[in-house]
Structure 1
Amino acid sequence: MEPVPFDDAETYEPDAGWQRAALAGSDRFSFEWFEKPPGHSSPMHDHENEQVCLCLEGELTVRTEDESVTLEQYDSVWLEAWESHAVENTGDERAVGLDVFAPGRSFEFWTDREGDDDSEQTDGL
């Protein structure tokens, strides 16, 4: 067993007010808690991981190239590996969510891309 107390979790703040925390997980799956301020959106991006995005508080709109869905508290959406998407807080209050990735990943997905001129910077979905 490997507990991860929330206050001790590895954290990452890609943009002001957009915070992420790595919760318990493994190389087969990972959990990331996140908070987004009103109006904040991740860039359109994709990754090798399947992803489930669960809205815990507020409102999150998940966009793909073909459609969008707005999640309210406890709603979720599944994204296939390599499916381009963006996640935006479309509400007036902060939004809190939980991302589940399979296989698991670390924050390096975003931090390693920040200096790459050919890719978008930041996010977590």
Structure 2
Amino acid sequence: MERVDFDAAETYEPDEGWRRVALAGSDDASLEWFEKPPGHSSPMHDHENGQVCLVLAGELTVYTEDDEATLGQYDSVSLEPWESHRVENTGDETAVGLDVFTPGRSFDFWTDRE
């Protein structure tokens, strides 16, 4: 068992106000907590990992090439590996959520992007 203390966990901020915290991870799966300010959107992207996004507070809209889903508190969406998507806070308050990735990944996905 490996305990992760939230306040001591690896953290990064890809954009101002968009913060991510690595809560747990292995080669098999990883868990990231995030907060996203109102109006912020990640760029359209894809990755080799399957992803489940769970909203803990606020509102997020997930856009794929073919669909969109607006999620409120405790709603979730599942994305297949290589499925292009972006996630936007379409609400009026900071959104908070959890992302689960399978297989697991590190922050290198965002920090090493050109």
Task: Please tell me whether the aligned partners of residues 25 and 105 of structure 2 are also in contact (alpha carbons under 8 angstroms).
Answer: no
Pair 1:28 & 2:9 matched:
no
Question: Match of 1:52?
Answer: 52
After the TM superposition, which residues 65-76 of structure 1 pair with which residues of structure 2 at under 5 Å, given as runs? 65-76=65-76
Q: Between the two proteins, what is the percent identity of the paired residues?
A: 79
Per the alignment, residue 122 of structure 1 pairs with none
CA displacement 1:40-98 (0-9 Å, x = unmatched): 00000000000000000000000000010000000000000000000000000000010
d(CA) in 2 for partners of 1:25 and 1:47?
Answer: 17
* Structure 1 runs of 4+ with >3 Å offset: none
User: 1: CA distance between counterparts of 2:77 and 2:15?
Assistant: 23
- Which structure shows the bigger proportion of residues in strand conformation? 2
Gaps of 5+ in 2: none
For the residue of structure 1 that corresponds to 2:63, the secondary structure is strand
Q: How does 1:1-125 map to 2 (within 5 A)?
A: 1-113=1-113, 116=114
Give the counterpart letter for 1:2 in structure 2.
Answer: E
- The answer to whether the 8 A contact 2:50-2:81 is kept is yes
TM-score by length of 2: 0.99
Q: What amino acid is aligned across from residue 88 of structure 2 in structure 1?
A: E
For 1:23, give the aligned amino acid. Answer: L
Task: With the length of structure 1 as denominator, give the TM-score of the two structures.
Answer: 0.90
Q: Secondary structure at the match of 1:110?
A: helix
RMSD across aligned positions (CA): 0.5
* AA at the equivalent of 1:97: G
